[in-house]
Structure 1
Amino acid sequence: MIMEEMTMVDFAAGLQLTRTVIIPLGSTEQHGNHLPLATDTLQAIDIARVVAQRRPLFVAPPVHYGVCRSTAQHPGTIGISTAALKLLITDLVSSLYAQGLRYVVLLSGHAGTTHMATLVDAGEELLGHFDDIQIAVIKEYDLALAAGHSLLETPGDSHAGEIETSRLLHSHPDLVRGTSPAEYPSFPMGILVRDKQKYWPGGVWGDPSKARAAKGELLQQRMADKLCEVIAELERMET
């Protein structure tokens, strides 16, 4: 059930079927020369919609902004602070709770370490505030690695590489503009740098040339399988 497409009557009827909601989280962030700034958000929406076709649950409107630290200086990246993200998530989940939702999946297509830590921090705070809520914080990248161990050819593939390019070639081929050179960032260990683009000029982490639409289709289905398993486990937990 896609919330932004529902009426209030539809929503009330949906609550008779489920108390579970997925919030797709992404970013507006550079993804090399060939993928759109909305890549992370599109991927989270895509998986959430596939899962919603398999089991009764709500899909909340997506969050298009996240904490983008290592890509902050690349053209097109628009990030928010950890404080803003935490407040946004706590407010959104609190509002969904007030509407009757009790099982919340924060599904992030953006995999930044600081971003994910902020989601976990918000989730922990919400668990302490509401006694009858269950929360999962899921990084899509983890689902992709679990789903693609027999498909992927690129060691250490991550941002705008084989995985993400394959997925968008499958789901949004009109938004993929060719490819970008294989690349890996070279940030110095433990040292915070001001000129981040100097250490990651092309914004790719992996090899987009290995991407294929068929891989993206298989990844999407396997990732949805895994997410369904996580949601089933979440719903078995007592609220």
Structure 2
Amino acid sequence: MDIDTHRHFIERMHWDEVAQRIEAGAIAILPIGAAAKQHGFHLPLNTDRIQAEWLAGKIAERIDALIWPTLTYGHYPAFVEYAGSNTLSISTFEALIREIGGQILGGGCQKLLVLNTGISTLAPVDRALTRLDRTRIRHLWIHEGPRYPRVARQLAEQGHGSHADEMETSLMLAMAPHLVDMARAEASPIRNKETPGSLTPSDPDSPNYSRSGSYGDPTRATAAKGEALLAAMLEDLHEQAAAFAAQGGHQPAAMHSVTR
């Protein structure tokens, strides 16, 4: 990852080190990224977790933040027909976010960034955070703009997509190419260009049918596209994180150059 993981990921630190960093004003980051969610034939089930931790590491390096362990279970109802894919109910997921976020803030951290890699998790996270002090929390979605959506539109060759597709596969080719099996990448049928409901591998007559589990055309993915997408995504995330860190007079202990 190219990150000093022992300075940023609290699971690799001792509790007194964490206490000292909190006392010094370190911002907390809570990544959300599934580890049991199908991503086609060509990407592993922990694709979202890989992205969440990679991006959290880059943000933490820039603002010298502390990263809490990734929430690897969430509300992902669209994938449950595929082996190994798990989902929590909305109420359980919201309670999980609310309790963990509340404990992080209650434990002394003055600010919390919730870094979200999902789509179906966006609304539940927002609802959960309304129960906490929103002046101290920023909910970041990794696909928020303005740069990333613009670059994605410029690069996209697929006619539709949103999951294990050309864009996500390109990102993984840039982040973790050794985990991508492009020989097994398979496009989904073009039957429903709108955002689908639950995907199915078992009903060929369904508009949401996808034998592989991808929604889009991952065969069009390239590492070059991934590098461009990742650069735009990091600029967007760094800008938002830095603005949040600066609110209320907080100044990060160290600032570092952006690396990819």
| TM-score normalised to structure 1 length | 0.85
Q: Indicate if the aligned counterparts of 1:30 and 1:36 stay in contact, CA closer than 8 A.
A: yes
Q: Report which stretch shifted further, 140-149 or 42-51.
A: 140-149
Q: Indicate if the aligned counterparts of 1:185 and 1:205 stay in contact, CA closer than 8 A.
A: no
The equivalent of 1:123 in structure 2 is: 129
Change (3 A) 1:210 1:191: closer
The equivalent of 1:47 in structure 2 is: 55
> How far 1:229 sits from its partner (Å)?
1.1
- 1:151-209 superposed Cα distances (whole Å, 9 cap, x missing partner): 33335432001121112222222221224222267569999889685323232122111
> How far 1:92 sits from its partner (Å)?
0.8
- 1:116-138 superposed Cα distances (whole Å, 9 cap, x missing partner): 1110000111137xxxx422222
Q: Indicate if the aligned counterparts of 1:18 and 1:56 stay in contact, CA closer than 8 A.
A: no
Change (3 A) 1:157 1:82: same
Structure 1 counterpart SS, 2:64: coil
Change (3 A) 1:39 1:16: same
Q: Report which stretch shifted further, 141-150 or 11-20.
A: 141-150
Change (3 A) 1:190 1:151: closer
- 1:4-32 superposed Cα distances (whole Å, 9 cap, x missing partner): 11112321232244341111101221111
Q: Indicate if the aligned counterparts of 2:81 and 2:199 stay in contact, CA closer than 8 A.
A: no
Q: Within 1, Cα distance between the matches of 2:79 and 2:41? A: 13
Letter in 1 for 2:168: E
- Aligned pair partner of 1:21 in 22, 25, 28: 28
Change (3 A) 1:209 1:200: same
Q: Report which stretch shifted further, 13-22 or 61-70.
A: 13-22
Letter in 2 for 1:162: E
For structure 2, list consecutive stretches of 5 or more residues without a partner in the other structure: 1-7, 250-260
Total equivalences in the alignment: 233
- Indicate the RMSD between aligned Cα atoms, in angstroms: 2.8
> How far 1:230 sits from its partner (Å)?
0.9
Q: Report which stretch shifted further, 38-47 or 153-162.
A: 153-162
| TM-score normalised to structure 2 length | 0.78
List, as ranges, runs of 4+ consecutive aligned residues in structure 1 with deviation greater than 4 Å: 184-197
Change (3 A) 1:91 1:149: same
The equivalent of 2:143 in structure 1 is: 141
The equivalent of 1:2 in structure 2 is: 9
The equivalent of 1:37 in structure 2 is: 45
Matched, 1:222 2:232: yes
- 1:45-66 superposed Cα distances (whole Å, 9 cap, x missing partner): 1111111222211111101111
Structure 1 counterpart SS, 2:155: coil
